[in-house]
């Protein structure tokens, strides 16, 4: 790297990541192989179109890379159609909404609100989604879980064109088969053709590992990111079991909403899918779920108000537990090298920029080697620090002693089916 300014920033960021405990539930560490693909000369290639149908010459090798990524995605998620070109999860959602709702005029979407755990692109006032579509929301039940009869009732009341499931801060399992039944029953009863879409960005790794229901078997189309639990490069993905719909998705991605695909990132996705297809990935994901559950249990044992968890994440109510906002907790934890994010919790009365909670996840820490003992120790450490029992210096030292036993992020490699 000849640019000294950027080189220095990369070095500092590498040190920050190596010396810290990453608990942001949407982050993870891709392997060195994924990063090598991303940093390769494939970035120099223009390849508008799809493998075998490009608008430029010289695409024979990127065609191969993209075809491998598509094949592996299809195998991993057991679908006939995969589009690996979306630049991000938001782009994937933009294109997928378009493909599913084209020709319906100003279409209506029924989703979960951002404050309840949904995503910006699921109808937030600051997102394209609320500009282009009329979005209504279904509430969570008293216990913070999806209430399927209420979703069915809301479907009848709002008569949307699309039911959207899959979330950013929802710690429980989702019954995609139940949602499919609800949509089918509704369509039969009212003679409608409501589509069912799942955004599995957060749980894609859990799905790939076969540790929860596979939404691809039930939804008309499924979007995802590739960089969260799936542990690939930063990017998006769209899958469908319907090849006809696949055609509409292809044109909604290119040329409707994107130009040249990022073939270097697509090669990184192919590498990550090869890793996720290896049996070791399931073991990794089992550890993530176990570590997350143990940490959440420890917080509860210590008397902290925490959500339950059946995924890679849970939510802590820091306002009622420690008398500080989520924003304050995030800042304080950052001072000792623990990275989290403030998050609205169920029934939150704070403004989103403050929030009453924080969201914690163990996908990234487990990739570096966090053990079950580490997960419990981290929960105790956060509790002691936020309660004010242990000072900043001591806690920072303990964080460093934990991460020094883990692998450095630069060296991470994972088993792959593609050796």
CA atoms lying within 13 Å on the CB side of residue 363: 26
Shortest reach from residue 194's CB to ligand PLP, in Å:
20
Judged by CB, which is closer to ligand PLP: 327, or 359?
359
Q: Of the listed 225, 226, 309, 395, which one is catalytic?
A: 225
How many CB atoms sit inside 10 A of residue 411's CB?
9
Judged by CB, which is closer to ligand PLP: 200, or 403?
200
Q: Of the listed 27, 66, 116, 199, which one is catalytic?
A: 199
Judged by CB, which is closer to ligand PLP: 26, or 124?
26
In 112-261, the DSSP E strands lie at: 134-137, 162-165, 195-199, 221-225, 236-240
Rounded Cα–Cα distance for residues 289 and 273 (Å): 20
- Is residue 19 within 8 Å of 403, Cβ to Cβ? yes
Judged by CB, which is closer to ligand PLP: 167, or 218?
167
Known active-site residue 199: yes
Q: Of the listed 32, 35, 46, 242, which one is catalytic?
A: 46
Shortest reach from residue 261's CB to ligand PLP, in Å:
15
Shortest reach from residue 158's CB to ligand PLP, in Å:
21
Known active-site residue 234: yes
Question: 214 is written with which tokens?
Answer: 């596979």
Judged by CB, which is closer to ligand PLP: 321, or 343?
343
Secondary structure (DSSP) of 23-62: --TT-----HHHHHHHTSGGGG----EETTEESSS--HHH
Chain-centroid distance, C-alpha 109 = 21
Shortest reach from residue 183's CB to ligand PLP, in Å:
19
Known active-site residue 228: yes
Q: Of the listed 45, 72, 180, 228, which one is catalytic?
A: 228
Known active-site residue 46: yes
**359 forms bridges with which residues in the sheet?**
315, 341
**DSSP structural state of residue 304:** -
Residues that bind ligand PLP (CB under 6 A): 26, 88-90, 93, 119, 121, 166-168, 199, 201-202, 225, 236
Question: Annotated catalytic sites, by residue?
Answer: 46, 48, 199, 225, 228, 234
């Amino acid at each position: 790297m000849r640019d000294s300014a950027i080189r220095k920033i990369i070095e500092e960021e590498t040190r920050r990541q190596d010396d810290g405990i990453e608990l942001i539930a949407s982050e993870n560490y891709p392997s060195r192989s994924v990063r090598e693909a991303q940093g390769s000369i494939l970035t120099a290639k223009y390849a508008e179109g799809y493998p075998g149908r490009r608008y430029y010459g010289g695409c024979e090798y990127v065609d191969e890379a993209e075809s491998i990524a598509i094949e592996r995605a299809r195998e991993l998620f057991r679908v006939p159609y995969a589009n690996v070109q979306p630049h991000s999860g938001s782009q994937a959602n933009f294109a997928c909404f378009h493909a599913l709702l084209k020709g319906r005029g100003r279409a209506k979407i029924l989703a979960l609100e951002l404050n309840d755990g949904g995503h910006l692109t699921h109808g937030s006032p600051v997102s394209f989604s609320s500009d282009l579509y009329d979005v209504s929301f279904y509430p969570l039940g008293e216990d913070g879980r999806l209430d399927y009869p209420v979703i069915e009732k809301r479907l009848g009341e709002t008569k949307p064109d699309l039911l959207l499931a899959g979330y950013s801060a929802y710690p429980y399992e989702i019954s995609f088969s139940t949602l499919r039944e609800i949509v089918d029953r509704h369509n039969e009863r009212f003679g409608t053709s409501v589509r069912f879409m799942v955004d599995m960005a957060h749980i894609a790794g859990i799905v790939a590992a076969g540790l929860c229901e596979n939404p691809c078997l039930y939804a008309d189309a499924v979007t995802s990111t590739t960089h969260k639990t799936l542990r690939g490069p930063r990017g998006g993905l769209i899958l469908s079991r319907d090849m006809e719909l696949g055609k509409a998705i292809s044109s909604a991605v290119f040329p409707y909403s994107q130009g040249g695909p990022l073939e270097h990132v697509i090669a990184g996705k192919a590498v990550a899918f090869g890793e996720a297809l290896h049996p070791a990935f399931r073991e990794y994901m089992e550890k993530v779920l176990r570590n997350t559950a143990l940490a959440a249990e420890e917080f509860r044992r210590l008397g902290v108000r925490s959500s339950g968890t059946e995924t890679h994440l849970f939510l802590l109510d820091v306002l009622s537990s420690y008398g500080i906002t989520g924003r304050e907790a995030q800042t304080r934890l950052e001072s000792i090298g623990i990275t989290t994010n403030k998050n609205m919790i169920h029934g939150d009365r704070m403004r989103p920029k403050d929030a009453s909670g924080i969201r914690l996840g163990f996908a990234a820490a487990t990739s570096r080697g966090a053990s079950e003992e580490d997960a419990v120790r981290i929960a105790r450490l956060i509790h002691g620090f936020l309660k004010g029992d242990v000072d900043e210096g001591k806690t920072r030292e303990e964080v460093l002693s934990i991460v020094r036993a883990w692998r450095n992020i630069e060296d991470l490699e994972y088993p792959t089916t593609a050796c």
